[in-house]
Amino acid sequence: MNIKIGNIIRELRSRDSRKQEDLANALGVTCQAVSRWEASKGYPDIEMIPAIANFFHVSIDELFGYDGDRERKISDILEESQRAINSNEDLTNCVEMLREAVEEFPADYRLLINLGFALHVHGWRMHGLKGRIGAGSDYGTIDTDHASRNSYWQEAMKVFEKLLKIKDSFPEKDAVILIMVADYSKMGQFDKAKELAEKQNSVYVSRECLMIHATEDEERDRYLGEAIISVMNELKNLIETAVTTKKSLVKDGVSVQKLIALAEFYESLFDDGRLGIAHTNVRDLYVCSSIFEASCGDIEKAMEYFDRGFEHHITYKSILQSEEYSYSSPLFSKVINHGGFPKTATEGMKDYLTAAAPENLRKEILKNEKYSECFDYLKEEV
């Protein structure tokens, strides 16, 4: 038997903050037996190996230290699944591949993350959302009955719940929490959503805000710029949600006023026209305003806003083609573009138009070759 097994049991127990007594009780042996294993003075019976692996949520290969092939296999699965998630392809095979991988390597948090993300995206593509406004209500809400039947989202929540139990901290944790709170709410599980949300830090102790206080001079200038970009992104999401879910604001034209005001505020902050990732937010604000104006019958104003949004969309696409990008307006000149900008952000234009653009707006867009990249998915809906 591999001499490493005692050391590995000790390391896994330490990783999970478990006592020798915990393992002993689970296996029906004495603490002294576990102690002998960890001291390499004896080995567990071969019949106990599956139970030990299950106790620590690892594969038998990992328990024996044969993790070279394991890591190569996991890396290949992670790479392939990430590629699929970031594409527009059907995720049925990706989800099944990740399910099998998690079955084989139940304690690898990276596989759980990718499986949860894949299930979330697949559930969205397969079922989408339905909205409704109750009789006499001023608020647009999600059809929670429809969303609660989304089996992929149900599974994703179970995967993420398991992930949070076995891993306290990981780089993607914020994204996982965001998806969990949002999907719990969509499915009508508001108590779970609020319970999870209340456990998180406030805005004041976020990484972005704390780094401002932890640095000085040029470094502080950099983190100030990054914090403004992050806060503005969340402000955009909040205002967009607020004005699109309240019927009276849309009807009275208040929604468009607020969205345009925020778009113009964005453009005033980045006063040299180099908005970086913020080009996508300003695009969304203008396109959303265009949809509202078209829905109210003002197609001329709608096309004016759509054209502004399209220009930001094209600018962002050009940024993705460049190898380097730097901000140059005074507030953001020290900001460093870490790791490039997400290509998936270009999908915003398609998402807005296919989901909500009225027929009069679709027809006007189709008349102009300038917007030709929008034609395929608009023609499908007209």
Please say if the pLDDT value at position 275 is more than 80: yes
Give pLDDT, residue 351.
86
Please say if the pLDDT value at position 330 is more than 80: yes
The first and second tokens of residue 316, run together, are 């962002």
Least confident of 27-31, 69-73, 140-144, 153-157: 69-73
Q: Which residue has the higher pLDDT, 203 or 112?
A: 112
Give pLDDT, residue 68.
63
In whole angstroms, how far apart are CA 376 and each of 20, 87, 350, 372, 373? 62, 18, 10, 8, 7
Span 121-143, mean pLDDT? 82
% of residues, the chain, pLDDT over 70: 96
What is the DSSP track for 315-338? HHHHHHH-S-----STTTTT---T
Average pLDDT score over the chain: 90
Give pLDDT, residue 2.
44
Please say if the pLDDT value at position 381 is more than 80: no
pLDDT digits (tens, 9 = 90+) for 341-351: 888 888 888 88
- How many whole angstroms separate alpha carbon 226 and alpha carbon 169? 22
pLDDT digits (tens, 9 = 90+) for 95-131: 999 999 999 888 789 999 999 999 999 999 999 888 7
Model confidence at 379, pLDDT cuts 50, 70, 90, reads low
Give pLDDT, residue 72.
85
CA proximity to 260, closest of 230, 233, 290: 290
Radius of gyration of the chain (CA): 26
CA proximity to 239, closest of 227, 229, 254: 254
Span 249-273, mean pLDDT? 91
Span 196-225, mean pLDDT? 93
Could you confirm whether domain 5-63 is CATH 3.40.462.10? no
pLDDT digits (tens, 9 = 90+) for 9-35: 998 988 888 899 999 999 999 999 999
Model confidence at 142, pLDDT cuts 50, 70, 90, reads confident
Q: Give the architecture (CATH level 2) of 71-198.
A: Alpha Horseshoe (1.25)
CB 23 within 8 A of CB 55: yes
pLDDT digits (tens, 9 = 90+) for 152-179: 999 999 999 999 998 989 999 999 999 9
Please say if the pLDDT value at position 256 is more than 50: yes
What pTM, to 2 d.p., does this model score? 0.70
Span 70-90, mean pLDDT? 90
Residue that has been written with the tokens 């002294």 in this structure: 32
> Within a 13 Å sphere around the CA of 215, how many CA atoms are in the beta-carbon half?
16
Please say if the pLDDT value at position 133 is more than 90: no
In whole angstroms, how far apart are CA 185 and each of 134, 160, 162? 17, 15, 19
